[in-house]
Amino acid sequence: MPPSPPNRPSPRVADNAPAGREATLTRREWLATLGVGGALCLAAVTLGWWTARRRSPPAHEAPATPRELADFALLERSGRAVTREDLRGRFLIVSFLFTSCSLSCRAVNDRMAELQRALAGAEDVRLVSLTVDPRTDTPATLARFAARYHADPNRWWFLTGEKAELYRLIEASFLSRSRELETLIPGGFANLDHLFLVDRTGRVRQAFGGLRADAVRQILAALERLREETQAP
Amino acid sequence: MKTLPTLLTGGLLLLMTAGCGRAPAPASATAAPDAAGTRSFEARGVVREIAADRRTAVIRHEEIPGYMPKMTMELNVRDPAELAEVSVGDEITFRLHATADTHWIDGIRRVGRAPAVAAAETPLFVPEETPELKPGDPVPDAEFLDEHGRPVRLSDFRGRAVAFTFFFTRCPLPDYCPRMNAHFRDARQLLLSRPDAPTNWQFLCVSFDAAFDQPAVLARYARAYRGDNPDRWLFAAAAPATLARLAPRLDLMVIREAGGFSHNLRTVVLDPAGRIFRQFDGNAWTPAELAEALVAAARESGAPGDAAEVGQR
């Protein structure tokens, strides 16, 4: 357990309060202050929050020329052999994991679980999680892990296989890697916490920071744009 | 109660004059909701990312009792000016305010530079570029510092079957390092109590946290698993340079994270000649399986020309 903070800041309630002024307020003035102040504040907070949200840039810009999802031969957690052909024609949301992860990367799996809930009934989307530690993450281990996130076997796939094959797919389609990063990020893959959106033609269209609070909202919005794009005449 | 209306009014006057661009002074630092239904919490964490407009920050915060466990979150910052002097890697204290539908932080104070983050930016080691070993392959010799403060090498155990695994003493997850060491304990008990078991075997638990797991720390930790009987079970720590050679060959993954490590589990059984006899990946194996592997490996002969030096340790 981390040590408790030695110097917790004490509430600085009265620092900026105009001294003496509040003592002269009647109860009625006080209530009026409460009402007007509260309304103003609520409005301002809402506006501020909304504009801040509107202004915040996308988590990650789309690459100028989208990469193709490389072909692959891997195993799903069910033990079934899977290739790129099995995903053809669907939008994909791709994430990366290793089940030995103890802390922050669990948040990425939480995002995927949120997406699965938000996309209930969407037959045109498949969630795909690729392990970077395949010797540990056998189909059986991935199946146990997937159950913890209530992953639907038909909609959220967990892929493992030969490490060389997995790493080739990840490097060719999604992330760069370096040995210098290997004790900092699993596999040495920069941005391993990112989620990727792949369109129905197999082009990797956009990446999103998986730890960001608004990742799910942004992915759903981007997915909607891609649907409109492919439906346009 | 005189103070509460005083505080509330003071806070509201402040809000009215300054709008909401400034942090409203909270009435309380406890989780009890104030008049507007806002709950406020004191928190502490390390800044991981700051948005360009400073209106959000990704913070790896400690547990916020009564609200949230330790985690990494993107949080709304009420007053971007409060982040003017704060940079990524700084340790901060702050207040988190939550209403039914939104949250924000304020009262941000820089309290230091987080050593964990500074350390996390430096690789523990850079693994050699080399293929993974397969069963039958010899493991290159490696030297560790044992719980007595003495160097110990894998080659010291030629002539014995060796089971070794990797851990760190501060490992908090019950199904990781503690499970490995508990499995070693149980497997050793099986071997010691089996009348027909060979006696040329050795257990070795290797910490990858040599900076913290000094010999005295290892000795104390070992006692918890081994009791007073150290027979054929040694604890040691590997220097980063040693890990750089071993980790890629054994597919061992060690990731610096939040002052500790995330890591996978690799348990290796060597035959008396120092060749890989069997590897156990992950934690879904049993002490009986490990004991069986040791028995089978111990009966393998050492390679021709291999001096079976059974050193006493």
Q: What ipTM is given for this predicted complex? A: 0.70
What is the DSSP secondary-structure string of B3-33? Answer: HHHHHHHHHHHHHHHHTTSSPPPPS-SSSS-
CATH of B122-311, one of 3.40.30.10, 3.40.640.10, 3.30.70.2340, 3.30.70.120: 3.40.30.10
Q: In angstroms, what separates the C-alpha of A230 from chain B's closest C-alpha?
A: 32
Task: Report, as an integer, the average pLDDT of A143-159.
Answer: 96
Count of CB atoms situated within 10 Å of the CB of B258: 18
- In this model, does residue A118 exceed pLDDT 90? yes
Q: How confident is the model at residue A213 (pLDDT cuts 50, 70, 90)?
A: confident
Judge: A133–B253 Cβ closer than 8 Å, yes or no: yes
Quote the CA–CA distance of B207 and B286 in Å, as a whole number: 21
Say which of A21, A48, A103 has its CB closest to residue B262.
Answer: A103
Q: How confident is the model at residue A65 (pLDDT cuts 50, 70, 90)?
A: low
Say which of A15, A52, A101 has its CB closest to residue B262.
Answer: A101
- Mean pLDDT over all residues of chain A? 78
Judge: A183–B124 Cβ closer than 8 Å, yes or no: yes
Judge: A136–B264 Cβ closer than 8 Å, yes or no: yes
Locate the chain B residue with the closest alpha carbon to A136.
Answer: B282
Say which of B24, B51, B263 has its CB closest to residue A100.
Answer: B263
Judge: B281–A136 Cβ closer than 8 Å, yes or no: yes
CA B193 from chain center: how many Å? Answer: 33
- Mean pLDDT over all residues of chain B? 83
Locate the chain B residue with the closest alpha carbon to A27.
Answer: B5
Judge: A104–B257 Cβ closer than 8 Å, yes or no: yes
* Rounded alpha-carbon distances, angstroms, from residue B53 to B57, B81, B87: 10, 10, 13
Tell me the count of A-B CB pairs closer than 8 A. Answer: 187
pLDDT at residue B56, as a whole number: 85
Interface mutation target, options B2, B17, B20, B46, chain A, most CBs of A under 10 Å: B20
Quote the CA–CA distance of B245 and B189 in Å, as a whole number: 32
Quote the CA–CA distance of A105 and A96 in Å, as a whole number: 9
Judge: B71–A49 Cβ closer than 8 Å, yes or no: no
Closest CA to B164 of B257, B249, B262: B249
pTM more than 0.90: no
pLDDT at residue B273, as a whole number: 97
- In this model, does residue A91 exceed pLDDT 70? yes
Judge: B126–A179 Cβ closer than 8 Å, yes or no: yes
Q: How confident is the model at residue A113 (pLDDT cuts 50, 70, 90)?
A: very high
Closest CA to B46 of B1, B100, B112, B99: B112
**Single-letter residue type at A37:** G
Chain B residues within 8 A of A105 when measuring between CB atoms: 262
pLDDT at residue B7, as a whole number: 37
Judge: A179–B7 Cβ closer than 8 Å, yes or no: no
Residue spans per domain, chain B: 21-113, 122-311
* Rounded alpha-carbon distances, angstroms, from residue B308 to A139, B233, B301: 40, 19, 10
Closest CA to B243 of B208, B270, B212: B208
Quote the CA–CA distance of B28 and B7 in Å, as a whole number: 9
Give the whole-number percent of chain A exceeding pLDDT 90.
Answer: 59
Quote the CA–CA distance of B274 and A44 in Å, as a whole number: 70
Q: How confident is the model at residue A71 (pLDDT cuts 50, 70, 90)?
A: very high
- Looking at per-residue confidence, does B250 or A8 come out higher? B250
User: Which residue(s) pair with A67 in the sheet?
Assistant: A204
- Looking at per-residue confidence, does B74 or A140 come out higher? A140
Judge: B120–A184 Cβ closer than 8 Å, yes or no: yes
Locate the chain A residue with the closest alpha carbon to B30.
Answer: A11
Regions of chain B with pLDDT less than 50: 1-29, 116-119, 304-313
Is the Cα torsion angle B93, B97, B103, B104 positive or negative in sign? negative
pLDDT at residue B88, as a whole number: 78
Closest CA to A106 of A217, A218, A211: A211
Interface mutation target, options B12, B38, B53, B251, chain A, most CBs of A under 10 Å: B12
- Beta carbons of B97 and B79 less than 8 angstroms apart: no
Chain B residues within 8 A of A56 when measuring between CB atoms: 51, 53, 55-56
Locate the chain A residue with the closest alpha carbon to B44.
Answer: A5
pLDDT at residue A232, as a whole number: 60
Say which of B7, B62, B74 has its CB closest to residue A13.
Answer: B7
CATH of B21-113, one of 3.10.450.40, 2.40.50.320, 1.10.10.370, 3.40.630.40: 2.40.50.320
- In this model, does residue A179 exceed pLDDT 50? yes
